[in-house]
Structure 1
């Protein structure tokens, strides 16, 4: 009889895949799956798109159906928080007061939406979007003809803006930096995104912060900008990033640096504690630096890797970073991590709806990105992973198929 116990903290995508993986690999011991939400493990990307628009149900985001979930034989603890980790006693303490011992502990407790510390930030009518309940609450106010202000011109803000415009709302995006998604993409992509949102009628205000929120006599939300302007709307969505939930690990004395630090085997500074998903910070060999990767791909793959590693199976989690975003009729994808030292090669017309930017280190492709170019980007991924030498002139020539580069 297997008396070993694995405790998984977090019931998002990473935690769900870790739980499935340990069972798939034949682990017959006790598996606890502990999460603060009432929902079974689910995927987050649809929340800002199909679920928010009402085109898909929240239940459609679940990783596995209830029957398959029950067959995993997990001790599932919804609506419960882990309050502390006792590394010496090898147990976690739950918010219910119950201690649970572990042989291996996997932290998949993700992150939380960053909020604003300004006057009026706690007023009704302000929303963040991180989980199913957030999507349901926000979806209820996305009605045709209403006005909404999105604070933050990053990925979550732009996806919400696109969904709101599809719902025929009046949408304004306010971004404190000088261009959209400035922290994650080059100016060519930022300019494309600005054109895209303008095309669909979204107003974009750049280089301007928000000073305060208030409510007027009519019950509308008043957004006071740093330049003195005021925007009046029915609702506000604050999409200014994510804070990793690494406090539990910090309090337990684990190494943290912008997240819980893990190695390629998903192990923390305590070999019996692993971490995966949005909370985990790891050294990316493709970018040459430590990072957290807030993506669907990493939540799944690192969750699988952590589950396998917890069982003593050798893993080497070093995936090529991949990120995608759907906005209006556009699918934008990014492979790899561009660097300012890389040479940029453009394939296609930057003013069109489809092009690819390649980032070359010498004659090797290190990163590629672009809108509505899924086929070319699949070949670009192969070039990056194979480290094949390429001719920049062939990359740029749209008359040459990517398969021939």
Structure 2
């Protein structure tokens, strides 16, 4: 009798490791294969631009499971051997060495890759990306000898890297094409808070600028030439201009792909028996009523649990709201919800951002679409409930510090 087909997970990052654990916890006892391109055991990435980069968190703290966990739970962990092809018709995945693995169900958890920097000099020594653990290792080593850092991109990754570098004593310049950092996500009112935070810590923020060339000598980067002719000297340059989902396997196999591998709310792709989760998935969100790709830690933690249950034929739908967190210079921020372009018509602040503690609400037709808590532990659970309810709320109550977050739903209107 032939051996039963395995449950296979392609992508040995956080999402893949969580899916493997969930399959075992849910009672799956059959063959389980976890395939990874990197040689490191599955690890979490947020600390690569925060505590691990600064040296405050040890390497072992990044691991999703201890190395021995995989053998103990009979997970066939294949590292350093990426999948190169997916054959949905034959229910097989092909590895780089030619091995073909049959699957009963397969999860794509292939993550994302930093966007390429398409300007002259981009491949010079000293130009760094920050996606893998070895990237953080090299950057931390560079911080010990460098004195000047330029960061291309004013998103979460760029700002977190800038904060660690400033605390390490480097002169830091952040270059951003838009008018403010995080402008597309947070809007002008709250983006300005992060701009002020970094300026207050000595970061040279330059907005509305574009890098035209990485200049260098002898194969090593020496600075950034802007499109307006300005030259900024640098010992290290970090490229943090966003990422793209790793959809190559899915696209070549004929799966539906948009901004990521398209799935329904159960994380099922357009190919029978194939699921997707984490950074690579563009999943239909039943609460928000749209397809959405969320490339943040919380999605990689929670989405694979739904996918694993769906792989086992259980009823499961992923409806958690998008969630983002950051820590910069001791400012702890949590954000929940999603605001599509043009959807927000008002931002309400509670508290004084200059004092370092406040709440923010993004409204659309009176309904909270997203909410943020800054240095206010315990506020996120009621804020998430408020956003999920989708009911209009009096902006005056949102701004009133006398109304506790837990009471904001008490006088909310009917769901819109």
TMscore range, shorter length: over 0.9
Partner of 1:398: 401
For 2:207 and 2:91, locate their aligned partners in 1 and report how far apart those are by CA, in whole Å.
Answer: 50
Evaluate the alpha carbon distance shift between residue 179 and residue 86 of structure 1 in structure 2; reply closer, same or farther with a 3 A threshold. same
Matched, 1:198 2:193: no
For 2:198 and 2:160, locate their aligned partners in 1 and report how far apart those are by CA, in whole Å.
Answer: 10
- Counting only pairs closer than 5 Å after superposition, residues 5-404 of structure 1 correspond to structure 2 as 5-143=6-144, 146-216=147-217, 221-338=222-339, 340-362=343-365, 364-387=367-390, 390-404=393-407
How far did residue 145 of structure 1 move? 6.0
Indicate conservation of the 8 Å contact 1:379/1:403, yes or no.
Answer: yes
For 2:284 and 2:97, locate their aligned partners in 1 and report how far apart those are by CA, in whole Å.
Answer: 36
Q: Which digits, 9 at most, give the CA deviation of each residue in 1:19-67, with x for residues without a partner?
A: 1111111111111100110111111101101111111122211111123
For 1:281 and 1:311, locate their aligned partners in 2 and report how far apart those are by CA, in whole Å.
Answer: 21
SS in 1 for 2:143: coil
TM-score (norm. length: structure 2):
0.93
Q: Mean Cα displacement is larger for which, 63-72 or 157-166?
A: 63-72
Q: Mean Cα displacement is larger for which, 172-181 or 139-148?
A: 139-148
Evaluate the alpha carbon distance shift between residue 246 and residue 217 of structure 1 in structure 2; reply closer, same or farther with a 3 A threshold. closer
Q: Mean Cα displacement is larger for which, 54-63 or 149-158?
A: 54-63
How far did residue 262 of structure 1 move? 0.6
For 2:283 and 2:328, locate their aligned partners in 1 and report how far apart those are by CA, in whole Å.
Answer: 29
Root mean square deviation of aligned Cα = 1.9
SS in 2 for 1:163: helix
For 1:324 and 1:187, locate their aligned partners in 2 and report how far apart those are by CA, in whole Å.
Answer: 19
How many pairs were matched up?
Answer: 405
Which structure 1 segments of 5+ residues have no match? none
For 1:230 and 1:387, locate their aligned partners in 2 and report how far apart those are by CA, in whole Å.
Answer: 48
For 1:80 and 1:217, locate their aligned partners in 2 and report how far apart those are by CA, in whole Å.
Answer: 34
TM-score (norm. length: structure 1):
0.95
How far did residue 368 of structure 1 move? 0.7
How far did residue 222 of structure 1 move? 1.9
For 1:88 and 1:166, locate their aligned partners in 2 and report how far apart those are by CA, in whole Å.
Answer: 53
Partner of 2:411: none
How far did residue 150 of structure 1 move? 0.5
For 1:387 and 1:333, locate their aligned partners in 2 and report how far apart those are by CA, in whole Å.
Answer: 19
SS in 2 for 1:75: strand
Which structure 2 segments of 5+ residues have no match? 409-416
How far did residue 220 of structure 1 move? 5.3
